[in-house]
Structure 1
Amino acid sequence: MRRVMGIETEYGVVVPGDPAANPMLASGDVVTAYAASRGIRPARASWDYADEAPLRDARGFDMGRGDAHPSQLTDTEDPTLANVVLTNGARLYVDHAHPEYSSPEVTTPRAAVRWDRAGELVMREAVTRLATVPPGVNLYKNNTDGKGASYGTHENYLMARSTPFASVVKHLTPFFVARQVMCGSGRVGIGVDSRTPGYQIAQRSDFFEVEVGLETTLKRPIINTRDEPHAVADRYRRLHVIIGDANHADVANLLKMGSTSLVLAMIEADAVGADLSVRRPVATLHEISHDPSLQTKLELVDGRRMTAVELLWEYHDRAAAFAEERSGGQPDPDTAEVLHWWSTVLDRLGRDPMEARREVDWVAKLAVLEGYRERDGLAWSDPRLKAVDLQWSDVRADRGLAHRLAANGRLEVLVDDADVRAAVTTPPSDTRAWFRGACLARFSEAVVAASWDSVIFEVPGQRMLQRVPMLEPLRGTEAAVGQIVREAPDAAALLRALATAGTDAD
């Protein structure tokens, strides 16, 4: 169960009263507003692009820069200079036309939920600060504007480089086709532009066109092949998952990360078992999303037909048996928690999807929408329902319907609000994110740039910048370097102490 993982979330951005506003500039305002509220100078604690390689493909080749869509060139400096590293180890920046919060590296699904929710508080603080300068900016944790544009919530999982990528494609594709019934966030409207009236399970599914590929904004693939590990390349592969939705429900978010991590563990161990490949995976992905009754049958290549819930039971039972065998009958608490919620949610979805309204985003949202439909006699084509859909994802605590449901006890909450607030400024202690965040907190004047695998210092008296590599994600932890960081009076002393100890953040 334990592996290095994280979530990247692009937020929808709106300037009230100005539909023609430049979204890139508005997104830049979000980043700089938050940075100012925390005393961070964006031009100082910026991103180190030295080791970025976004066009390297897991299938064994590099795409030429001339062939790449501009959105794929994530290794170029942000023209708005709105790109900062936070003391919790996260990255906050402008990803083309959206402000993005990329969580620090964590090792458990529960921690992934905690630091993802911390990103919501970061965005809420930026909105609050910008509200003092009309017209302000508002943000939505969702994945589509309802007019044909989609923006991502991407998951990242570090896995063994030795695992054949063909096995990843074979076993994850059917899982991702079905996973949306547990983790989808729901959407009013069918089709990429929401033109057809109705309600569907996932916000992103209609935007996927191919099974495998490198792109993330055009011809979106179920399995993304970007091979940019941000770690020791001959040891690790970073699986970049672009098919998930942005979740507000803790249980759905936990299941999104935890079930995927368990399936990856089986793939790494070559222990998935009989083939579960689905015929027409892209078309089936769309069909499942369009059916909130969960009765749609998908067809396996072996001829069997089953619902998405039934396919997920196949994965669950194999994962449970795998965990039981590998743990000697005593799975670790994180694995046990994921398996508990996985079976609980599938049980409830199988009996009546509405039974899962406390755990699953799309069901909770559908319950709210059906309340409006019943009260006011609204058809799915009524624009008021799209307005409710948007309000669901509003980051403001008093406006966002998902936040209000959680506050009223109508959504299952797994991570305490106090822990989420602490995660806004505190990094995870058990990954290299701790060293990155601690250096920003203690030596901010000396840190000129950072990335997932480096921190760069400017030390008085040194003619060259000093780069501390962090290619091992499970080093640079509080246990490994905490005493050195805390006892160093300045960055120069920190670097000397690391050298004397015969180590660095690696």
Structure 2
Amino acid sequence: MTVRRVMGIETEYGVLQPGRPQANPMLLSSQVVTTYRALAARADGARGKARWDYDDEDPLQDARGFHLQRAAAHPSLLTDDPTRPAPSGPVPRDPAGAASFQEVARPTHEDYDDPSAANVILTNGARLYVDHAHPEYSSPEVTNPTDAVCWDVAGERIMLAASRELGAVPGAEVALYKNNVDGKGASYGTHENYLVDRAVPFATLVELLTPFLVTRQVFTGSGRVGLGSVGQEPGFQLSQRADYMEAEVGLETTLRRPIVNTRDEPHADRQRWRRLHLIIGDANLFEVATYLKLGTTSLVLFVVEQLDALSAVEGASGASLRAELAALRLHDPVSDVQKVSRDLDLTAPLLLADGRRLTALEVQRVYADVARRAAEHLGTLDDETRAVLDRWDSVLSRLGTDPASCAREVEWVAKLRLLDRLRRRDHLDWDHPRLAAMDLQWSDVRPERSIYHRLLAAGAAERLVDERAVSQAVHHAPEDTRAYFRGEVMARFGDEVSAASWDSVIFDVAGAPSLQRVPMLDPLRGTRAHIGALLEASKDAGALLTGLSGTSR
């Protein structure tokens, strides 16, 4: 059993311009991206302006076995058209949260850069671009949760660098926030991606994963001041995304947001893999929360992938594991997302489909126990898998007995403790604007303004990766996935790259009769072990392509 699989995180950052609340977020986001492009060119010597290759993208292919007609799709789904930026979806029209909605129009009140230009393929293998009027950092592919944390934090440093550079120009200051809500009804995403064996039926993934996703917010939630889509009710809750989940399963990402997203866009060999695209998670600054979010989800996916093998090898024991997970099906999972998020005591019972009632912690305990028993059945554990299992067990146990003991690991616990101290000291109700301001300040990417960074400096938040590793990750890709090839090519031969995507790089070599595409459908090829020596020996892209032609025979 192993926690290792290809995974990654996409984070849309909140953006505003101090003193200009009506500033166009598309323009601000474009400025962030293009500013970092210039910074990267200076820092890395990276050349060229490779475009993003949309040819292999199809956001309308549904994992349930059908393809949504383009004419029937909401514009927010059309993320494969670089000439027309997708709007963010609907926003509640009135603060009472009425059912009527007003569609967000494409920006017309201010000129903004061509969004196809606001796109950078970074030397660390990541993509930085404008998505739904937010600057988005899509991390490179990694193979384990510790690396996921490292390259996720590298994204924070990249956003900070762009913010600093813009702030040096009078009138161009931009504030960036690693959060998920703007307090006015809009939510922007932190999406997780996991490569999963396509042999597992999608319906099985939905059935066995949904209760886990609904309840994992007890340790992955980043905390939020306000209840309801526009914070219309006073209070505090575990998750920033919970109030925006409206469906159990669906293709959309910015309206009718589902617990399990059905976009079937693997960015890999479709015959072997699917990419499970999850949009329910919060943006986390606490590294342990990110680590557990990716690590526990990967473990549950491994168990689901291995259920048939477990049944074959262990007989009744293996079948029992499947039955235990299937028995966790919730009666109303969409409603339970909000119920868990509002359960600060972690004691609210959730109604299961079979009539039993379990708390979110109890549901998580079943998943953790099943994962542990599956590991025992399947044999040797690698160190990282054992570490995730042990941390998962420890956090669940302490949340059930002494939540305050998790304050260095679980983000919502730390945030609630700090806010409660302020409330008691100054006699503030939950709807006081100082609390909302503190919630926002928590996620500011600027260390001198960020409450999270103050906690970090005081040793009140646990680190899993050191800053030297993060600094390295800002400029260099993971060495054990195809991100290594993508990043190194951009660093060495960027002026000879016409376009790139997750699963290909297109070269434009002087003197060549045509563009040359290098496919990368296997995310575990193109690693340093596989291609490093050839890259070192290639003086230009032409030599690299010649060498690749030789190694592919």
Alignment partner of 2:352 out of 279, 285, 300: 300
Separation in 2, partners of 1:225, 1:291: 28
Post-superposition offset of 1:27? 0.1
Post-superposition offset of 1:352? 2.6
Alignment of 1:330-479 (within 5 A): 330-479=380-529
Q: Does the aligned pair in 1 maintain the 2:47–2:493 contact within 8 Å?
A: no
Q: Does the aligned pair in 1 maintain the 2:48–2:496 contact within 8 Å?
A: no
Q: Deviations over 1:383-405 (max 9, x none)?
A: 00000000000001111111221
State the secondary structure of the residue aligned to 2:54.
coil
* Paired letter, 2:146: R
State the secondary structure of the residue aligned to 2:437.
helix
* Paired letter, 2:54: Y
Alignment partner of 1:180 out of 217, 228, 237: 217
Post-superposition offset of 1:42? 9.4
Alignment partner of 1:138 out of 157, 175, 189: 175
User: Would the alpha carbon gap of residues 42 and 280 (structure 1) be closer, same or farther in structure 2, given more than 3 Å must change?
Assistant: farther
User: Would the alpha carbon gap of residues 42 and 127 (structure 1) be closer, same or farther in structure 2, given more than 3 Å must change?
Assistant: farther
Q: Does the aligned pair in 2 maintain the 1:12–1:98 contact within 8 Å?
A: yes
* Paired letter, 2:297: T
Aligned position for 2:103: none
Aligned position for 2:233: 196
Separation in 1, partners of 2:394, 2:204: 28
Q: Does the aligned pair in 2 maintain the 1:114–1:423 contact within 8 Å?
A: yes
Where structure 2 has 5 or more consecutive residues not aligned to the other structure, the ranges are: 84-113, 308-320
Alignment partner of 2:68 out of 63, 70, 84: 63
State the secondary structure of the residue aligned to 1:39.
helix
Separation in 1, partners of 2:48, 2:510: 18
Separation in 2, partners of 1:203, 1:502: 47
Separation in 1, partners of 2:212, 2:425: 37
Separation in 2, partners of 1:42, 1:248: 32
Alignment partner of 1:122 out of 147, 158, 174: 158
Q: Does the aligned pair in 2 maintain the 1:159–1:237 contact within 8 Å?
A: yes
State the secondary structure of the residue aligned to 1:212.
strand
State the secondary structure of the residue aligned to 1:110.
helix
Alignment partner of 2:330 out of 274, 278, 293: 278
Aligned position for 2:342: 290
Post-superposition offset of 1:502? 2.6
* Paired letter, 1:37: L
Separation in 1, partners of 2:265, 2:551: 30
Q: Does the aligned pair in 1 maintain the 2:48–2:497 contact within 8 Å?
A: no
Post-superposition offset of 1:299? 1.2
State the secondary structure of the residue aligned to 2:476.
coil
Separation in 2, partners of 1:448, 1:156: 26
* Paired letter, 1:73: L
Separation in 2, partners of 1:352, 1:73: 46
Separation in 1, partners of 2:391, 2:164: 35
Q: TM-score, normalization: structure 2?
A: 0.89
Aligned position for 1:103: 139
Post-superposition offset of 1:94? 0.1
Separation in 2, partners of 1:490, 1:416: 34
Separation in 1, partners of 2:405, 2:423: 19
Separation in 2, partners of 1:263, 1:332: 16
Post-superposition offset of 1:43? 7.2
Q: Deviations over 1:464-492 (max 9, x none)?
A: 11111100000000000100011100001
Separation in 1, partners of 2:394, 2:551: 49
* Paired letter, 2:22: A
Separation in 2, partners of 1:61, 1:446: 38
Alignment partner of 2:547 out of 483, 497, 502: 497
Q: Does the aligned pair in 2 maintain the 1:250–1:412 contact within 8 Å?
A: yes
* Paired letter, 2:352: L
Aligned length: 501
Separation in 2, partners of 1:488, 1:63: 44
Post-superposition offset of 1:125? 0.2
Separation in 1, partners of 2:207, 2:67: 22
Instruction: Select between 362-371 and 36-45 the one with higher mean Cα deviation.
Output: 36-45
Separation in 2, partners of 1:501, 1:209: 49
* Paired letter, 1:201: L
Alignment RMSD (CA, Å): 1.2
Alignment partner of 1:93 out of 115, 118, 129: 129
Separation in 2, partners of 1:285, 1:469: 40
**1:266 matched to 2:303:** yes
Q: TM-score, normalization: structure 1?
A: 0.97
Aligned position for 1:214: 251
Q: Does the aligned pair in 2 maintain the 1:12–1:145 contact within 8 Å?
A: yes
User: Would the alpha carbon gap of residues 410 and 272 (structure 1) be closer, same or farther in structure 2, given more than 3 Å must change?
Assistant: farther
Separation in 1, partners of 2:522, 2:254: 30
* Paired letter, 1:14: L
Q: Does the aligned pair in 1 maintain the 2:193–2:278 contact within 8 Å?
A: yes
Post-superposition offset of 1:67? 1.3
Q: Does the aligned pair in 2 maintain the 1:484–1:497 contact within 8 Å?
A: yes
Q: Deviations over 1:379-434 (max 9, x none)?
A: 10100000000000000111111122112110111111110111000100000000
Separation in 2, partners of 1:386, 1:236: 42
Separation in 2, partners of 1:140, 1:170: 34
Separation in 2, partners of 1:357, 1:103: 27
Q: Deviations over 1:70-95 (max 9, x none)?
A: 22111111532201100000000000
Instruction: Select between 370-379 and 482-491 the one with higher mean Cα deviation.
Output: 370-379
Separation in 2, partners of 1:48, 1:479: 26
Q: Percent of pairs identical after alignment?
A: 57
* Paired letter, 1:121: R
User: Would the alpha carbon gap of residues 215 and 43 (structure 1) be closer, same or farther in structure 2, given more than 3 Å must change?
Assistant: farther
Separation in 1, partners of 2:428, 2:467: 35
Separation in 1, partners of 2:182, 2:253: 17
Instruction: Select between 481-490 and 265-274 the one with higher mean Cα deviation.
Output: 265-274
Q: Which runs of 4+ in 1 moved over 6 A?
A: 40-43
Q: Deviations over 1:179-207 (max 9, x none)?
A: 11110010000001001000000000110
